[in-house]
Amino acid sequence: MHIRNRKGALALSLAISQLLAAQAVFAQDGAAPAIEEMVVTAQKREQSLQDVPIAVSAFGSDQIESRGITSIENLTALAPNIQISKAPGSATASQIAIRGSAQQNPALYWDPTVGIYVDGVYIGKSQGSIFDVIDVERIEVLRGPQGTLYGRNTLAGALSFITRKPSGEFAGSATFGLGNYDERSTKVSVDLPRVGIASVSFGLQSLQRDGWVDVDGPSREAANRDSYAGRLAVNLAFSESFEADYRFDRTDIDQKPPLNQLYRSNLDQWGIPGLFPSRDREDEAALDLDAYEESQVDGHSLTLTWEINEQHTLKSITAYREMSWDDGIDLDGSAVPVAHTFRNSDYDQTSQELQLVGGGDRWNYVAGIYYFEDDGSTLNPQTFFFGTFNFDSRYAFTTESRAVYGQFDYQLTEALTLTAGLRYTEEEKTIDRLLGVNFATGTPFIPLVPQGTEGSEDFSSTTPLISLGYQLNDDHSVYAKYSQGFKSGGFNGEYGVVGDLSPAVVAANVAEVQTPFKPEEIKSYEIGYKGSFLDGRAQLNAAAFFNEVDDMQLSIFTAQGASASVVRNAGQAETKGIELEGVLVPVDGLRLQASYGYLDAEYKEFMDGGVDQADNRAMIHAPEHVFNLLVDARIAETQYGTWRAIADYVHKASWYPYPYQLAASGTLPAYDATQPVAGDTKVDSVGLLNLRLALTEIPLGEGEAEAALWVRNATDEEHASNFIDFGPGFGNLTTSYWQDPRMYGASVTYRW
C-alpha cells in the first residue's frame, strides 16, 4: 500500500497551523510554570545544564519521543553548528561534523572526529553508527574538544546517549504505526517487577517501509527500510552503596541502500551509451546490480558503581561491541555495468574505564584510566567498465589505546570557580593491505600492493583544559575556556594506483600504505553565557569560539585504481563562530525553542603537491548558518485527553562534501582541468519542516493512550543531500543522494 497523495500531509499541516493559532483561546490563565531543570552528566557527574561551563545541548525523553529522534541522523542541526549526513550510498554509516571538524570517509580504517557514546561506552567507527537506541532517557551534544574527560577522537565534540534504568515496577508502553510507502513500525518497552536485588527492563523495535524509488532491475526498489532492534537492561542492587548495571543492545538491518542517482556524466563521449543523468529527484531508476545493505551491531556493557562514602564514588565500565557490515552498490546508478563495489566488513572493540568521582564543599574532581582496543577488516572487491577492470582490495587494522586523565574544580570565591584538567593518551595502530587487479574474468591478478604489506606506528598526546566560571547572580553566569583535542594518525587503507603496473608504481603504492598520516590537533578558545529570565520561564545560552587546527586530516577521493581515497594532512585551518540557544514558555502549555549557529571556516595552509592551495580548497561539512525552531503547544484539554501540536523546522546553509578546488574556470590561474571542482557537488541550502498532532493522556483501563498524526519533510523539499564526484579522470561521473520525500503516517501508543 503506497500512500502518495499529498492532500493528507497538506491537510495535517493546515490543521496544526489552525490549532496553533487557537492556542491563546485555550491557554490557561495565570503565569506559566518555570522551565523544568535538565540534569546532565557532561562532566562525568550530575549537574544542572545551566551550571555546566561548556557548550552543551540536551534533549530529554519527552523531546526525543515527540520530535521523532530515533538515531544519530535525526540530530542534525537540532543543536548549533552540528552537521550530520548519511555517507554516500549508505543508510547506516554517518558523517558527523561539529564546528567545522568532520569525518567524511566512513571506511573502518579511519577514525571519526566526533565521539559517540552510549551509557559511557565509546562507539569506535562511523560504519554502523546509525543504529536504533531504545529507551533513551537523554541525549547530550557536547560541542568543542572533549579531550580531557572523553579522550580519543573527540576533538570536535561528543554525542552521548543515556538510556533509562529499570524502574523495578511493572510498567511499559507499546506503539504501533502506519505510514505512506507501506510503513509499519512497532516499539515495545517493558519494565518487570523487582525480584530480590534484580530489576529488569527490555525493549523491542521494528521498522519496515517500501522504498520510495522503484527500480527496473534485480533490486526492484531502493531506499527502503527493514530493521529490528532490541535492548536488555539489568540492575543488580547488591547494597545501598554498590550496584551493577548490565546493558545489551542489538540492531539488525537488511535493506536496499539509497539510490546512487546519476547526476552528471561525460562517459557518452567515451563511447559508453545508456547513461541518463538527471538533476531532479527521481522515483524510478534502472540498475543492473541487486544492491544491498546489511548491518548487525551487538553491544554489551557492565557498569559497577561503588559509593565509597558521601564524597567519593568509584565506577568501572567494561564493554564489548561487534559489528558485521556488508553492502553492494551500483556506483554509476544506471543499467550499464560501469562501476560496482562491494564491502564486507567485520569489526569488534573492547574497552575498560575506571572513574573516581568526588567532591567537597568547594571542590569536585574526576579522575580515571582508560583502555581501548579494536580490530577490523574490509574485503572490497570492485569491477569497472564491463568487467575489464576487476580489483581485489582488502585491508585489516588494529588499534590499542591507553589514557590517564583528571579534572579538578575549585571554588575560589562564592562566585568564581576554576577548572583544570589533563589527559595523556598513547595509541598504537597497525595496517595490513592487499590490492590486485585483472583485466578479464578468470585471468591472474596483478599485485599493486602485495600481500603482506604491513605498517605500524605509535602516537601520543597530552590534552589540557582550563576554564573560569563566574556566577553573576542566581540566574546568570559566564565562563571562559581553553581546551585541546587530539585525533591520532593512521594509515591509508584504501590507497592504490594502477599506473603502468611497473615495479616503481608498486613500490610507490607500498610506500604510501606504510607511511602514516599525522595526528590532527586542535586548540580551542571559548567564552559563554548562560541565563534565566522571567522567573525561570525563559533561558538563553550563548557561546563564541575560535579554533586553531593543525594537520587537519582530509580524505581525498582520487577515483584511481579501486575507487581509491587517500588521507592527507591539509596543514592548518581556523574555525570561529557563534552559538545561541533559547527556550521560552510564555504561557502554560506553549513552549518555544530555538537555536542558531554561525560558522566561519577557512584554511590557513593547504599543501598540495608542494603548493599552498589554502585559497583554492573547499572547507567541508561546514554550513555557515544552521537554524532550528520548535513550537510545542498544548492546544486544549478535553475529557478524552489533551491535544498537543508540534512544528519543528530546521534550516541549513549550503556546504561542500569534498575538499576540492574552488576555481571553476580555465581563466583562473589556479584552475586544474584534471581535478574535480568543489562547486560541482555543492549541497544547496535547505529548510525542512516536521509536524506532529497528538491526542495525549487518553484514559484507557489502568493506563493511558495516545494517538498521533505526523509528517516529515512536510513541504516535500527535493534536496540532493550528498554526492560522489569521480572527477575528470572517470568521465566526470557524479552520483547524488536525495533527502527522503514527504513521509507521513499515524501511530497509537498505550502506556501502563
Helix/strand/coil (H, E, C) string of 14-40?
Answer: HHHHHHHHCHHHHCCCCCCCCCCCCEE
Give dist(CA 190, CA 175) in Å, integer.
12
pLDDT of residue 443 exceeding 90: no
The answer to whether the beta carbons of residues 313 and 305 sit under 8 Å apart is yes
Please give the average per-residue pLDDT across 292-298, as a whole number: 95
DSSP assignment string, 390-417: EEEEEEEEEEEEEEEEEEEEEESSSSEE
pLDDT of residue 289 exceeding 90: yes
Residue 2 CB: number of other CB atoms within 10 A? 10
Give dist(CA 343, CA 378) in Å, integer.
6
pLDDT of residue 28 exceeding 60: no
Please give the average per-residue pLDDT across 602-619, as a whole number: 90
Give dist(CA 23, CA 385) in Å, integer.
61
Give dist(CA 401, CA 571) in Å, integer.
25
The answer to whether the beta carbons of residues 57 and 583 sit under 8 Å apart is no
Strands 121-123 and 221-222 come out as: unpaired
Please give the average per-residue pLDDT across 589-611, as a whole number: 93
All domains in the chain, ordered by first residue: 6-25+37-165+183-751 (2.40.170.20)
- Residue 563: the pLDDT is 65
Q: What are 59-82's pLDDT values in tens digits? A: 999 998 998 887 788 888 889 999
Please give the average per-residue pLDDT across 597-615, as a whole number: 91
Give dist(CA 383, CA 549) in Å, integer.
38
pLDDT of residue 6 exceeding 50: no
Cell digits for 731? 568521465
Please give the average per-residue pLDDT across 464-470, as a whole number: 97
- Residue 127: the pLDDT is 85
Q: What are 374-383's pLDDT values in tens digits? A: 999 999 999 9
Cell digits for 357? 568521582
pLDDT of residue 677 exceeding 90: yes
Helices then strands, counting H and E runs in the chain, come out as 4, 42
- Residue 24: the pLDDT is 43
Residue length of the chain: 752
pLDDT of residue 29 exceeding 50: no
User: pTM of the predicted model, to two decimals?
Assistant: 0.91
Confidence of residue 558 (pLDDT cuts 50, 70, 90): low
Please give the average per-residue pLDDT across 634-641, as a whole number: 93
In angstroms, what CA-CA distances link 731 with 264, 266, 456? 9, 5, 37
Give dist(CA 671, CA 663) in Å, integer.
5
Q: Which of these ranges, 67-76, 213-222, 240-249, has the smallest mean pLDDT? A: 67-76
- Residue 397: the pLDDT is 97
pLDDT of residue 603 exceeding 80: yes
pLDDT of residue 4 exceeding 90: no
Percent of the chain with pLDDT strictly greater than 90 = 80
Confidence of residue 21 (pLDDT cuts 50, 70, 90): very low
- Residue 15: the pLDDT is 43
Please give the average per-residue pLDDT across 503-522, as a whole number: 94
Confidence of residue 559 (pLDDT cuts 50, 70, 90): low
Residue 381 CB: number of other CB atoms within 10 A? 16
Confidence of residue 181 (pLDDT cuts 50, 70, 90): very high
- Residue 14: the pLDDT is 47
Query: HEC string of 528-587?
Result: EEEEEEHHHCEEEEEEEEEEEEECCEEEEECCCCCCCEEEEECEEEEEEEEEEEEEECCC
Give dist(CA 536, CA 521) in Å, integer.
39
Q: What are 473-506's pLDDT values in tens digits? A: 999 999 999 999 999 999 999 888 887 888 999 9
pLDDT of residue 592 exceeding 70: yes
Q: What are 298-332's pLDDT values in tens digits? A: 999 999 999 999 999 999 999 999 999 999 999 99
pLDDT of residue 668 exceeding 80: no
Rounded to the nearest angstrom, the gap between the alpha carbon of residue 739 and the centroid of all alpha carbons in its chain is 16
- Residue 31: the pLDDT is 64
CB within 8 A of 720, min separation 6: which ones? 263, 281, 683, 684, 736, 737, 738, 739
Angle 104-105-109 from CA coordinates, rounded to 5°? 140
560: nearest Cα among 393, 344, 750, 351: 393
Q: What are 327-356's pLDDT values in tens digits? A: 999 999 999 999 999 999 999 999 999 999
Q: What are 32-61's pLDDT values in tens digits? A: 788 999 999 999 999 999 999 999 999 999
Percent of the chain with pLDDT strictly greater than 70 = 95
